[in-house]
Structure 1
Amino acid sequence: MTTSPARPVDVLAVGDASVDYFVRVPHIAGADDKAIGRLAGVHGGGMSANLAAAAGFAGARAALATAVGSDEPGRQALDRLARHGVDVSPSITVPGGHTWFCVIQLDATGEKSLVGAVTEVKIPEVGQISDDLLRTARVVAPLADDLGWATDLAARARAGGAKVAVDLEPDAVAGRWDQVRALARHSDLVFCNQGAVQVLADGDPVRCAELLVSAGATAVVTTGGRDGASCYSRTESWSARGPEIEVVDTTGAGDALAGAFTGYWILGRSLADSLRAGVATASLCVGHLGSRAYLDAGTGVETFARKVTLDPAPRLQGNP
């Protein structure tokens, strides 16, 4: 691994860290329904925290800039990340604040329903993230729940010479194509799950990638759950599928894929190899309870990546 002395961090995630409470239920409770289950465990969570941890798992030097409360969940959130090698020194502790948390229902198949309890403390204010901090990183990955907030950080990161990676969620992008396009213009890597692809391109991953690349993104990764993921750029397209694995918990799989892909890519690996690493890490993730429990399993990303099937994917229209 090579890093520039001027940029000691390979991947800087800017966003959230939480504590996740997992409850095993006989079925996922819907509206006006009740599912009585059992507490299965309490684990670290948060999309940005998960991404940073996965980037570190892929061999990158990872850091997280988040905001937590001065409560026990906040201390646990940062301590767990630090134990996994993530530099949490850029994070902010808000005196008297309450750290946000999630309650996750898990059914017998490992599928989930997540309820997030956002408190007054979730992410740093945009003004609390300095340009000096952004210049320490080779890639900045801002949480894209608030597209305006993410675009501000992405533009500043790019202006300071960093690459940018963003992960789009369906609720954040629905009805906001102009804002999505503005964010893509400042982004190198854009990740979209099935929901985001549905919102942006009626479920067509190739069309979704075409729209985002045309807007300025260098490469777009679309994820398909059990069907794996695909990566598209102007010059190449790949599809990857992980090995068969018993699904325990799908929480954080997309974050794991995005983080490992980004970490591999910024270390100079090809898009194809980065996709392999991302899919391998997501596969490892779903085999354990908790979004980062795979970090303690003792399986290296490169070893597991060899089990990932890689094939050419449809090329973007109008590109060589």
Structure 2
Amino acid sequence: MDLVVLGHVAIDHIIFPDKREVIIPGGAAAAVATSAALSGAKVGLVTKVGKDFPKEWLESLKRILDIRGVHVLEGKTMHIYMIYHEDGSVDAPVEMGVAKAMGETEIPEDYLSAKIFHISPIPPEEQLKAINRLEGKRITVDFNPTYMEEYRTKRGLMKEIVSRVEVVFPNEREAMTITGETEVTKAAETLHEWGAKIVVVTLGEKGVLLYDGRDFKKFNALPVEEIVDPTGAGDAFAGGFLAYYAEGKDLEECVRQGLVRAREVLKKKGSWSI
């Protein structure tokens, strides 16, 4: 197995100002995993869902992923409500359901021989639990604005997480919040000083900034005629990057594959690449 992704899978509710509601599959872990699989990687997914998780969604994951690490439990799946208002503001309340204590989720024994382990955005304490369980493995982590207050106030915890992983994937704001820096390049340098070998800062429509401890390299986002839904573009990028990274490809190739996968997910509704 090339890659194991641990984190949330969710049911996303998109609620428009006119009260129309669209329900689609979501969750950062599935977004990363499906992107990596479509980039050629053999991927295992570790997560928790409830009995309300649609069987057809599970079947669609099964077609391209190893889902023996997907635990279907009594209770509700994580539900995320993206509520769009007339003034352009967005509320995003979350019902955690069975998705609590994600860092302790059982990992199938044979998954432990995977080349890379990616921990998608979960509470920092849970990320550290997962890192402790994967001691000695090659680990990468991603972040999410949901936990921004914890990133800001628990710098010691964040420093420990970063010190024990190989690659980090913050966006620009997360990188600066985690480190306390006010410039993205200085934030990337600090994350590297804390221990991350590779820092990949996603910059939205401005592209990606890569720092390997020696040089900064800026990559432009690929053009998209029409953006249907920006949800999950960063996760799709990480999946494409990690698929190539697990194969030992050049970092520039990894970034370019990530940008290809991000472009593709921007063209469709939802964060999954399938």
Pair 157,271 (structure 1): closer, same or farther in 2 beyond 3 Å: same
Q: How does 1:25-40 map to 2 (within 5 A)?
A: 25=16, 35-39=17-21
| Letter of the structure 2 residue corresponding to residue 284 of structure 1 | E
Name the counterpart of 1:277.
Answer: 257
Pair 288,210 (structure 1): closer, same or farther in 2 beyond 3 Å: same
Pair 120,291 (structure 1): closer, same or farther in 2 beyond 3 Å: closer
| Letter of the structure 1 residue corresponding to residue 49 of structure 2 | V
**Cα distance per residue 1:286-310 (max 9 Å; x no partner):** 1211112x53xxxxxxxxxxxxxxx
Select which of 42, 45, 67 maps to 1:88. Answer: 67
Q: How does 1:199-238 map to 2 (within 5 A)?
A: 199=177, 200-238=179-217
Select which of 62, 78, 81 maps to 2:43. Answer: 62
1:75 and 2:55 are equivalent in the alignment: yes
Q: CA deviation at 1:156?
A: 3.0
- Distance in 2, Cα, partners of 1:144 & 1:242: 22
Q: Computing the radius of gyration over CA atoms, which structure comes out larger, 1 or 2? A: 1
- Distance in 1, Cα, partners of 2:104 & 2:140: 20
| Letter of the structure 1 residue corresponding to residue 255 of structure 2 | L
More deviation, 228-237/212-221? 228-237
Name the counterpart of 2:153.
Answer: 175
Structure 1: which 4+ aligned runs deviate by more than 6 Å? none
Q: CA deviation at 1:13?
A: 0.8
Contact 1:15–1:66 under 8 Å retained in 2? yes
- Distance in 2, Cα, partners of 1:81 & 1:118: 22
Q: How does 1:22-171 map to 2 (within 5 A)?
A: 22-23=14-15, 25=16, 35-39=17-21, 41-71=22-52, 73=53, 75-83=55-63, 85-95=64-74, 97-105=75-83, 113=90, 115-123=92-100, 125-130=102-107, 132=109, 135-159=112-136, 162-170=137-145, 171=148
With normalisation by structure 1, the TM-score equals 0.76
Contact 1:19–1:101 under 8 Å retained in 2? yes
Q: How does 1:289-304 map to 2 (within 5 A)?
A: 289-292=269-272, 294-295=273-274
- Distance in 1, Cα, partners of 2:107 & 2:269: 35
Q: SS at the partner of 1:222?
A: strand
Pair 154,275 (structure 1): closer, same or farther in 2 beyond 3 Å: same
| Letter of the structure 1 residue corresponding to residue 119 of structure 2 | P
Q: SS at the partner of 2:116?
A: strand
With normalisation by structure 2, the TM-score equals 0.88
Q: SS at the partner of 1:255?
A: helix
Contact 2:7–2:102 under 8 Å retained in 1? no
Name the counterpart of 2:3.
Answer: 11
Name the counterpart of 2:267.
Answer: 287
| Letter of the structure 1 residue corresponding to residue 8 of structure 2 | D
Pair 274,125 (structure 1): closer, same or farther in 2 beyond 3 Å: closer
| Letter of the structure 2 residue corresponding to residue 212 of structure 1 | L
Contact 1:252–1:285 under 8 Å retained in 2? yes
> Number of aligned pairs?
268
Q: CA deviation at 1:186?
A: 1.2
Which ranges in structure 2 are unaligned for 5 or more consecutive residues? none
1:254 and 2:234 are equivalent in the alignment: yes
Q: SS at the partner of 1:121?
A: helix
- Distance in 2, Cα, partners of 1:254 & 1:114: 20
Q: SS at the partner of 2:14?
A: strand
- Distance in 2, Cα, partners of 1:150 & 1:20: 22
Contact 1:12–1:137 under 8 Å retained in 2? yes
Contact 1:139–1:163 under 8 Å retained in 2? yes
Q: CA deviation at 1:193?
A: 1.1
Which ranges in structure 1 are unaligned for 5 or more consecutive residues? 1-8, 26-34, 296-320
Q: SS at the partner of 1:88?
A: strand
